Chain A
Amino acid sequence: MKKFQLMAMFFVTVLLLSFTSGNKASLPKVDVKSLDGRIVNTSTFQNDGNPIIISFWATWCKPCITELNTIAEVYEDWQDETGVKLIAISVDNSRTSGGVLPMVNGKGWEYEVYLDENGDFKRAMGVNIVPHTFLLNGKGEIVWQHTSFTEGSELELIELVKKLKNGEEI
C-alpha cells in the first residue's frame, strides 16, 4: 500500500509539472468507428486549419438530439461563414448503436459521425455526462468545452467559432 502511495505521489508531481508547462491540450489518440465501419484514429481529425466542434451525444439523450437538430438548421450558414466542421461522437453502446446511422440519416444531419461504442474516446476526453461539446482551434488544440444544451447555447458556440476564425484568443 505504501508503495502505491509513493507511486501516486510521484504521478501527481509529474501532473503538476505538466500543468506548469503551459501547453494547450490536443486530442488524445483513440480509435473510433465511422458509420461505414472504418476504424479512424481521433488524432487524424482535421479541418484544413479551420475550427472543429466535437460533440458527444447518444440516441437516448434528448438534449443531445436537440443540440444536433438546432445546429443542423444553421450548419450550412456556419460552414460558409467560418469553415467550421462538426464531428458528432455517439457514445451509444452495442445495444443502441444500431440506431445511430438511421437516426443520423433520418434527421438529415450532415455531420461527420463516429461511434465510440465502448467509451474509449469518451473516457480519454473526461466526458461523464452528455451532451458534452469541445471546440478546437485551427491548430487542433482544445480551447473550450461545455456540458449540457439549452436553447441559445448554439449562439454562444458560433460566437466563439467566429472569434477563433478571426484569430482571437478564447
Chain B
Amino acid sequence: MKRILLFIVVYLFAYSVKSYSQVLGGGEVHGSFQTDAQYYNKDSVIGADEIPEKIAMNAFFEMRYTNKKFEAGMRYELFMPQMQGYDPRWKGNGFGNRYLRYNGDKVDVTVGNFYEQFGSGMVLRSYQEWNLGFDNAFDGIRVKYKMKALTITGLVAKQRFYWDLGPGLVRGIDAQLSVNDMFTKLSETKTRVFVGGSFVSRFQTDADPLYKLPENVGAYAGRFQVYHGGFNFKFEAGGKINDPNATNNMIYKNGNAVIAEIGYSTRGLGFSLQAERSDNMDYRSNRASTGFDLPVGYIPAMTRQHAFSLAAMYPYASQANNQMGLQATVFYKIKKKTWYGGKYGTSVDLNYSVSYDIAKQAPSDTIAIGVPGTLGYASNFFKVGDEKFYHDFNIKFTRKLNKKWKVSLMYMNVFYNMLINEGHNAPNVKANIYIADIWWKFKPYNSLHLEAQLLTTEQDDGNWSSGMLEYNRKGFFVAGILLYNHGISNSHGTTEAALYPSLTTGYTHGATRISMSYGKQREGILCVGGVCRAVPASNGLSLTINSSF
C-alpha cells in the first residue's frame, strides 16, 4: 500500500512539473531492448536438451538519459530461465547495470557501472557481449581528466559476477599521451606518435591454508604507436607480479606479454602483420576463477573471426598463460576493367595466423615444470615451443560480375589443437573448408542469396556440408538452412550422420527487428537477413525482437 502511495506521489509530482519540462527535462533519451524467447524440442544429437520450463527467455531493456553534461543510465535484465548455452548463474532478473555520470570537457566522472579499456586491454578491460552472455562491468568510480595532449584515467571498482560482485578490488590508472599535441610545431606533421602506460592492482585477501599468496597483485603495461602516411606501428608490452591462481596451477612465476603490429596500406591494398607472446598473463579479480569468469586483463586471440558457419566451426581460444602467435592479413583489390579484374574489380582477402606454446624449461634441476608452489618454469623469450595450438590459412575472392550477380569463393585450411581449445583429449583437427557465396539481385529491392559450404576432416565429427537459400525484399527476409553432418566412424568413436534443417524469417522496420526461426541450429555466428549475431545451439521455435530508440 505504501508503495502504491509513493507511486502516486511520484507521478503527481511528475505531472506538476511537466510544464517545466523544458527546464527540468530538455535532455535526451536513448535506449534499446532485446527479447529472445525459445521453445525447446528435445534433441540429444546437437546437445540441445529439453528443459522443464519448456520456454526460456533472455531479455534486457536499457535507457540512458543525457542532459548537457549529466548522464544516467540503467539496464534491466531478465533470464527466466536463461536460454541454453548461457551460464545457469544468469538465472534471475533485476537491474544489472546502473550509473551516473558527469561528462565535462575536462573532467569525466562515472559512478556505478562502467566499461573501460586501457590500451589494447592487456592489463585491464571490462566489456559486455549480451548475445554471448558475457559482462564483467566494473562497479565503482572512474575519473578521467582530459588535457590537450594527455588523458589520465583512474578507477577503483569491483567487477560484476553474474548477479553479484567478484571478491577482488581493482585499482587502475592509465595515461595516454599524444606527442604531436604537446608541441605546436608538431601538430600538423605527417608523423603521429602516441605513448601510453597503465598500472593496475588487484586486492584479494589470502585465506589459503597452504600457500602465502600476494594479496595485492600489480600489473603494468606500456605502449607506443606511430603513424606515418600509409604506415603504422603499434607496440605494447606488459607484466604482472607473481600471482598463483587457478589458471596457472598455483605457480609463483611473474607474467609478461607483448603485442606488436606493423601495417601498410594505400588505396586498393592493405597489409598488416601482428605478433603476440603471452606468458602467465591470465589476470582476474578472483584468483580462484577460471573460464569466462572475472577477467581483468584481455589477451586477444590473434586469428580471424569468421562469419561463415563452417569456417567458424573451429575457432581459436586465446591462451593468456601460454601462447606465441603471428598473423598476417592482406586485402587487395584487383583493378577493374582488366581481363583478370573484371568489369568491377575483384577483391582478394588473404589471412594467415598461427599459434604455438612458449618454450618451457624446468625452473631448477630438482623441480619439474609446473609444480604448484614453485616458480613453475623458466622460459626463453624468443624460443617457440614444440606444441602447435592453431593455424588458419584462408583466402577469399569476391567479384561483382554485373549489376545483378556477385560471387565470393573462399578456401580455408585449419589446424585445431583439441586439448588446448576444448580441454579434452582427442585427435587434433585438420580441416579444409570450401565456400561459395552467390548473390542475385534480380530487381532493385529483391535479391536471392545462395551459400554453399563444405568442411572435410578425418577427425572430430567428420565432414560437414551446409546450404542456405535466402530471399530478401526490402525489410523482409526468409531463409532456409540445411546443415548436414556426414558422420564418422574411427578408433575414437562413432558420430551418426545428422541433418539440421531450419527456417528463419523476419522483418525489419527502422531500428526494430523481429525474427523467428524453427528447427535445429548449431551455436556460432549467424549472418542472415542482413545482420550478424551470435546464437546458441537450439532445437525448436525461437523468437527475437530487437529495437533501439
Contacts and interface: CB of A to CB of B under 8 A. Distances in A.
Interface stretch (B8-16, B43-51, B214-222): B8-16
A149 B439 CA distance: 14
Interface string B128-152: 1011000000000000000000010
A61 B307 contact: yes
B307 A60 contact: yes
A62 to B, nearest CB: 5
Given A103-B270, A155-B444, A38 B178 contact: yes
Interface string B404-427: 000000000000000000000000
Contacts of A46: none
Contacts of B18: 17, 20
B17 A9 contact: no
A102 B272 contact: yes
B27 A145 contact: no
Interface string A13-38: 11111111101011011000000111
A129 B31 CA distance: 14
Contacts of B349: 106
B532 A60 contact: yes
A96 B316 CA distance: 13
B549 A126 contact: yes
Given A63-B532, A106-B333, A29 B103 contact: yes
Nearest to A125: B30
Interface string B517-532: 0000000010101111
B38 interface: no
Contacts of A23: 25-28
Contact of A128 (B7, B11, B130): B130
Given A38-B178, A107-B333, A18 B305 contact: no
B263 to A, nearest CB: 6
A37 B63 contact: no
B29 A19 contact: yes
Given A19-B29, A102-B330, A132 B548 contact: yes
Contacts of A94: 117, 120-121, 125, 298, 300
B32 A61 contact: no
Contacts of B261: 98
Interface string B294-329: 000010111011110000000000100000000101
B65 interface: yes
Given A23-B28, A124-B64, A129-B513, A36 B227 contact: yes
Contacts of B291: none
B333 A108 contact: yes
Mostly, the B contact residues are: strand
Contacts of B513: 129, 147-148
B433 to A, nearest CB: 16
Interface stretch (A82-90, A115-123, A161-169): A115-123
Given A102-B329, A129-B546, A147-B531, A152 B30 contact: no
B511 interface: yes
Given A14-B65, A36-B192, A117-B117, A152 B305 contact: no
B444 A124 contact: no
Contacts of B72: 11, 14
Nearest to B114: A120
B248 interface: no
B39 interface: no
Chain A at the B interface: SS class: mixed
Contacts of A108: 267-268, 333
Nearest to B68: A29
Contacts of A79: none
Given A28-B66, A62-B532, A147-B513, A37 B74 contact: no
Most buried by A among B32, B306, B332: B32
A106 B331 contact: yes
A8 B530 CA distance: 36
B496 interface: no
B42 interface: no
Contact of B272 (A5, A9, A101): A101
17 contacts: A9-B10, A13-B10, A13-B14, A25-B28, A58-B532, A61-B527, A98-B274, A104-B270, A106-B270, A118-B127, A125-B30, A126-B62, A145-B548, A147-B546, A147-B548, A150-B472, A151-B441
Given A9-B7, A23-B26, A39-B178, 8 more contacts: A14-B27, A21-B26, A60-B306, A101-B265, A118-B117, A118-B127, A129-B531, A146-B511
Q: Which 5 A-B pairs have the closest CB atoms?
A: A106-B331, A102-B270, A148-B530, A106-B270, A95-B300
Interface of B: 3, 6-7, 10-11, 13-14, 17-18, 21-22, 24-32, 34, 62-67, 71-72, 74, 95, 103, 115-117, 120-121, 125, 127-128, 130-131, 151, 176, 178, 192, 194, 225, 227, 230, 232, 234, 261, 263, 265-272, 274, 298, 300-302, 304-307, 318, 327, 329-333, 344, 347, 349, 439, 441, 444-447, 472, 474-475, 477, 508, 510-513, 525, 527, 529-533, 546, 548-549
Interface of A: 2, 4-6, 8-11, 13-21, 23, 25-26, 28-29, 36-39, 58-64, 73, 93-96, 98-99, 101-108, 117-120, 123-132, 144-153, 155-156
